[in-house]
């Protein structure tokens, strides 16, 4: 019997120095053994490299920025649906997820497009600003955090927590500050870029370990692969990493998925101290850009996500290969001006 063929829309085609997860997700989809795919790329800008990678992406469309709202996005998706009839969408940006979560029922009911996303409650609870309360609720250590709206508040909070502290933007950016002057400097820079409040977080010394996984929405972890970053860029992004054997971390992860009934993909970011304690730093409600390492280690979690969305009853992965590495690379593509013209003027390629 031949495999079913799905048309799947994927965002996050920005394979730049701080890459979106889209191309890794597409590679995993193309590696799937249980179905074939036609890939529809969803991009925000005409310079996103994935638009021009025709061996990975069959057809691409520009979509409106998340700030344009759900109605504008829905109209664009209705148009794309009229042409491509996608079976499923896999959104990969934190900033766009809220709109897709809000639209998921409409997409399925009116257009027959499936998604497999966390609930709005799950999405909101794991926000950086709510993470400490989230940790208390689910029995997970999270560094103490305060919300500063002014520079004075920021330095007072840093004194209360004790130096050094981590000064973080509500969406992005994190700096380690060892003095009140540094707190003021970073508060100023981060609030100008990302707005307030700025998070002042307890500094936990250790090394970062991350988990790429997927929950079935009923409390079961379908897949989970822990990874340590071996090489990190100036922006803190992994350029290389290796899978780990870490039973304690996997146990924490499974307990978290069970207690939250997490639905969909996730990336958990932890700091592991020298005393082998784990502090949860962040929950990303989507696949990370390094998710193709999970495929390399024996867990095609993206394929599992599609099967879950299609209503299949799937069994959890029971192992993965430890010591499997990924190393990222840059590449210069040669692109015809006509292609750039097409995506820039028509919004399609």
Partner 1 sequence: MKLKSNVAVSDSGFVFNAATGDSYSINPIGQFIFNLIKNGATEEEVIKHILKKYSVDRPTAEKDLYDFKKILESYKLIDTTNE
The C-alpha atoms of residue 299 and residue 303 are separated, in whole angstroms, by 9
Residue 324 within binding range of partner 1, rule CB under 8 A: no
Of these, 68, 95, 245, 335, which contacts partner 1 (CB under 8 A)?
245
Provide the minimum distance between the beta carbon of 221 and partner 1 in the complex, in angstroms, as a whole number.
20
Residue 86 within binding range of partner 1, rule CB under 8 A: no
The C-alpha atoms of residue 152 and residue 183 are separated, in whole angstroms, by 10
Pick the closest to residue 274 from 203, 206, 204, 227 (CA basis).
Answer: 206
Of these, 207, 236, 312, 327, which contacts partner 1 (CB under 8 A)?
207
CA dihedral 130, 133, 136, 140 (to 10 degrees): 10
Q: Residues binding partner 1: what is the number (CB under 8 A)?
A: 12
Provide the minimum distance between the beta carbon of 322 and partner 1 in the complex, in angstroms, as a whole number.
5
CA dihedral 199, 205, 172, 257 (to 10 degrees): -100
Residues in contact with partner 1, shown as a per-residue x/- string from 269 to 308 under the rule CB under 8 A: ----------------------------------------
Of these, 16, 95, 232, 322, which contacts partner 1 (CB under 8 A)?
322
Residues from 220 through 239 that contact partner 1 (CB under 8 A): 227-228, 230
Strands (E) across 47-116 are located at 59-62, 88-90
Residue 205 within binding range of partner 1, rule CB under 8 A: no
Residue 275 neighbours by CB under 8 Å, 6+ apart = none
Residue 333 neighbours by CB under 8 Å, 6+ apart = 49, 52, 53
Residue 246 within binding range of partner 1, rule CB under 8 A: yes
Q: Could you list the residues that contact partner 1 (CB under 8 A)?
A: 207, 209, 227-228, 230, 241-242, 244-246, 322-323
């Amino acid at each position: 019997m031949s495999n079913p063929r799905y048309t799947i829309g994927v965002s996050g085609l920005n394979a730049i120095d701080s890459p979106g997860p889209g191309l890794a997700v597409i590679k995993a989809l193309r590696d799937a053994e249980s179905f074939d795919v036609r890939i529809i790329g969803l991009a925000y800008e005409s310079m996103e490299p994935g638009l021009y990678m025709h061996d990975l992406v069959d057809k691409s469309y520009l979509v409106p920025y998340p700030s344009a709202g759900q109605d504008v996005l829905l109209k664009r998706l209705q148009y794309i649906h009229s042409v491509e009839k996608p079976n499923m969408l896999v959104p990969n940006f934190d900033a766009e997820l809220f709109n897709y979560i809000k639209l998921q029922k409409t997409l399925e009911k009116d257009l027959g497009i499936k998604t497999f996303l966390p609930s709005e409650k799950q999405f909101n609870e794991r926000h950086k600003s709510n993470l400490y309360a989230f940790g208390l609720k689910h029995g997970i250590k999270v560094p103490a955090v305060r919300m500063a709206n002014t520079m004075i508040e920021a330095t007072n909070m840093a004194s209360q927590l004790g130096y050094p502290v981590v000064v973080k933007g509500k969406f992005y950016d994190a700096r380690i500050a060892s003095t009140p002057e540094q707190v003021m400097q970073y508060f100023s820079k981060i609030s100008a870029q990302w707005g307030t409040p700025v998070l002042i977080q307890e500094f936990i010394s250790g090394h970062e370990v991350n988990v790429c996984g997927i929950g079935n929405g009923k409390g079961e972890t379908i897949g989970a692969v822990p990874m340590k970053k071996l090489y990190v860029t100036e922006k803190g992004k992994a350029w290389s990493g290796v899978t780990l054997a870490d039973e304690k971390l996997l146990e924490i992860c499974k307990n978290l998925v069970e207690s939250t009934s997490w639905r969909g993909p996730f990336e958990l970011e932890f700091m592991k101290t020298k005393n082998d304690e784990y502090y949860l730093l962040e929950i990303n409600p989507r696949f990370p850009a390094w998710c193709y390492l999970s495929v390399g280690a024996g867990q095609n979690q993206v394929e599992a996500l599609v099967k879950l969305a299609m209503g299949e009853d799937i069994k959890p992965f029971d192992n993965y290969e430890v010591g499997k590495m990924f190393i990222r690379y840059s590449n210069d593509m040669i692109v015809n001006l006509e292609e750039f013209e097409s995506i820039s003027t028509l919004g399609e390629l």
